[in-house]
A and B are shown apart, each in its own frame.
Chain A
Amino acid sequence: MSTTVTTKKSAAGGKAGDSVFSGLSLGAGVLILAVLAAVALFLFMQALPTFQAPAEDVSGGEGFFAYIWPLVIGTVIAAVIALAIATPIGVLVALYISHYAPARIAKPVAYVIDLLAAIPSVIYGAWGTTVLASSLVPLYGWLAENFGFIPIFSGPASQTGKTILTAGVVLAIMILPIITAMSREIFVQTPKLHEEAALALGATRWEMIRMTVLPFARPGIISSVMLALGRALGETMAVALVLSSGPLTASLLQSGNQTIAAEIALNFPEAYGLRLSELIAAGLVLFLITLVVNMIARAIITRYKEFSGAN
């Protein structure tokens, strides 16, 4: 008799538990959506005073747009330099791991590349400002001397090496693991039969890669580059530590330029009043830019997943 009662109790408790648990997990999922919406909302609310303030009160005295666009350009320049360096190297390293290295070496190498991603950005920044910047000075001098007629290499080159080009190189080192890890994952998914068919027809290894691996992996490479772009656009510490900032300049070899993220990090601790709101507005702009870039990347991945036989 008593056993029946306990069974009933447990069953009843279980029923309540079921709805509580499903409600909790649904709540957590909705909370994440709410947090993302809140990020946009709170940033917008705190940024609002900047948009309403008279133009001469905003830093620079010509309104928010005049304040933000040099920062946007600076952010894009740093990210483009990083991508230009990291994309070819990242894809080639991914090829090395997936198709060139002997299996015994490939695994540890992949692990080492993952470690590269785990190193905190402040350490890259510290390394960039103490080691890399000074060792690039001779190169910058040489570039300014011989290619000074090109606007981006016009001299006089910085004597400390703390330029946007150095910041771009540090960013490149930081996003390289992202490109490598994602590209590698897709390279190894290439259908083995395609590869073997190409080799059986007498293709060299490069022809096999060009004809089977790259067409298969193209959307994956593009989305990995887009994700890396998102990271490079939002990366703060490397730029804040490495770049000796200033107004927008065309030359990559002189100090000057600034990115949104570094501008916020450098000025926020001392900011108050309208300046605070200005920096939050800058953060909102950065958020929207990275949001668009990431959404495009994710859309490419999702579309690609639906149409390929990989999954």
Chain B
Amino acid sequence: MSTTLLRNQTSTPPTGGRRSRLTRNQRPAWLVPTIGIAAVVVGAAAAALVGFNVALWAVFSAVIFLVAAPVAVTAVEGRRKGADSLVTYLVYTAFILAVVPLVSVIWTVLANGLPGLNSNLLLTSMNGVTGATDNAAAAGETPVLGGAYHAIVGTVSITFWATLLSVPIGLLTAIYLVEYSRGGWLGRAITFFVDVMTGIPSIVAGLFAAALFGLLFGPSTRFGFVAAVALTVLMIPTVVKNTEEMLKIVPNELREAAYALGVRKWRTIVKVVIPTAISGIASGVTLAIARVIGETAPLLVTAGFATAINWNSFSGWMTTLPTFIYYQIMTPTSPTNPDPSAQRAWAAALILIIIVMLLNLVARLVAKAFAPKTAGR
């Protein structure tokens, strides 16, 4: 009986514009796209009234659509569907809002950085580059001279020392947490404070290193290693958290098999647990490097600022790529012609972004290619 009723209702076309009971409360497919087109047109008109520009047009269209579409849906389908559609459109709007700045940042760096990316930038330092050099470059007499070679050197050496300090400490701490402590009070305290350490502002880490070395060697002690200590404070929590996660997913059967063969605990850890998790650990370390390589604030207070190449992390001031970018923008080499400085800064920013993205990519590839085989699941 009911099936015949259903068939009757669906098969007979609605007469006189009235819809069947099953489709009566459905919005027609054209409704929302039409409102969208209308919103764009009306938005353009409204923007033209105020003074047309693309951003204004986008904002007006979005607002009109966000108001009109849910109202229309509410009118056809009722309040619940109306609220649902409102949230759906808000979610999509939020997504677009989040992507716009990312695209803008990357576009800005590419557009401003590519012209300055040349062998000069990569292979020369700022030693001897003065305002007069930049004025000549701005007048078109010479190419833009000076580059970021000393900053790349500084970035590499400081990051190297920071990695050398933080990886053993972070790795051993993670081993303690997973293999030895197993939920003891000290382990829980360390876990909690490692989490808290993640949130230390980078400038405070820099101040800590500056204060520590200030006490040891007198105030305003600045060289590369001080910066490396500051970066170590920022790097350790990332290394510990990543390594801990990786050690946790090493199947217990492997450990038990090793113990059953009479292997000592430390040899089990060194020969069985760590090799199983090595890809995850390596990718975690890479991500930690990617995080600290872009740090600026701690370097401002610990490494000073140099214009010449300095390979020695234990004496003399050093510049890294982030501080190079910062100083080139804040205090252009030639105050009257900031363009050459800006060009160098954006080119250095492009190099920095490329390094960070490559590190992220490498971390992902390493983690994926050598992922440990987990038991079960």
Chain A residues with CB under 8 Å of B212's CB are 38, 42
Q: In the complex the two chains form, what is the Cα distance from A153 to B136 in whole Å?
A: 44
- B88 and A205 contact, CB distance less than 8 A: yes
- B296 and A287 contact, CB distance less than 8 A: no
Take A36-B193, A204-B81, A206-B87 as given contacts and tell me if A89 and B94 are in contact as well, using a CB distance cutoff of 8 Å.
yes
- B208 and A206 contact, CB distance less than 8 A: no
Take A122-B325, A122-B326, A123-B349 as given contacts and tell me if A287 and B300 are in contact as well, using a CB distance cutoff of 8 Å.
no
- B190 and A29 contact, CB distance less than 8 A: yes
What interface size band does chain A fall in?
35 or more
Take A25-B180, A227-B199 as given contacts and tell me if A120 and B189 are in contact as well, using a CB distance cutoff of 8 Å.
no
Within 8 A of A (CB), among B154-196: 168-173, 175-177, 179-181, 186-187, 189-190, 192-196
- Whole-angstrom distance from the CB of B304 to the nearest CB of chain A? 7
Interchain Cβ contacts under 8 Å between A and B, 11 examples = A14-B264, A28-B168, A32-B197, A118-B356, A123-B109, A123-B353, A176-B98, A234-B202, A241-B330, A287-B201, A290-B199
Q: In the complex the two chains form, what is the Cα distance from A65 to B261 in whole Å?
A: 65
Interface: B211 (CB within 8 A): yes
Q: 17 new A-B pairs (CB below 8 Å) besides A32-B240, A118-B290? A: A20-B266, A25-B173, A29-B187, A39-B200, A43-B204, A92-B91, A120-B293, A120-B295, A127-B105, A205-B87, A205-B88, A230-B201, A237-B297, A261-B203, A268-B207, A280-B211, A298-B196
Within 8 A of B (CB), among A271-308: 272, 276, 279-280, 283, 286-287, 290-291, 293-295, 297-298, 302
Residue among B196, B205, B240, B304 making CB contact with A294, cutoff 8 Å: B196
Q: Which of A54-62, A129-137, A249-257 contacts B (4 or more CB under 8 A)?
A: A129-137
- A31 and B169 contact, CB distance less than 8 A: yes
- A265 and B300 contact, CB distance less than 8 A: yes
Residue among B55, B94, B109, B352 making CB contact with A96, cutoff 8 Å: B94
Q: Which of B19-27, B214-222, B277-285, B367-375 contacts A (4 or more CB under 8 A)?
A: B214-222
Chain A residues proximal to chain B, CB less than 8 Å: 14-15, 17-18, 20-22, 24-33, 35-36, 38-39, 42-43, 45-46, 88-90, 92-93, 95-96, 100-101, 109, 112-116, 118-127, 129-132, 135, 173, 176, 180, 204-207, 209, 227, 230-231, 233-237, 240-241, 261, 264-265, 268-269, 272, 276, 279-280, 283, 286-287, 290-291, 293-295, 297-298, 302
- B266 and A14 contact, CB distance less than 8 A: yes
Chain B residues proximal to chain A, CB less than 8 Å: 55, 80-81, 83-84, 86-88, 90-95, 97-99, 101-102, 104-105, 108-109, 112, 168-173, 175-177, 179-181, 186-187, 189-190, 192-205, 207-208, 210-212, 214-215, 219-220, 233, 236, 240, 264-267, 269-270, 290-291, 293-297, 300-301, 304-305, 322, 325-326, 329-330, 342, 345-346, 349, 352-353, 356-357, 360
- B325 and A123 contact, CB distance less than 8 A: yes
Residue among B187, B196, B329 making CB contact with A291, cutoff 8 Å: B196
- Whole-angstrom distance from the CB of A182 to the nearest CB of chain B? 12
Chain B residues with CB under 8 Å of A294's CB are 195-196, 198-199
Q: In the complex the two chains form, what is the Cα distance from A132 to B102 in whole Å?
A: 12
Sort A-B residue pairs by CB-CB distance and give the 7 closest, nearest first. A234-B201, A120-B294, A92-B94, A28-B172, A294-B199, A21-B266, A25-B176
Q: In the complex the two chains form, what is the Cα distance from A29 to B172 in whole Å?
A: 7
Most chain B beta-carbon contacts within 10 A, residue among A14, A17, A29: A29
- B196 and A295 contact, CB distance less than 8 A: yes
- B266 and A18 contact, CB distance less than 8 A: yes
- B193 and A236 contact, CB distance less than 8 A: no
Chain B residues with CB under 8 Å of A268's CB are 207, 210, 300-301
Chain A residues with CB under 8 Å of B205's CB are 39
- B360 and A115 contact, CB distance less than 8 A: yes
- A264 and B301 contact, CB distance less than 8 A: yes
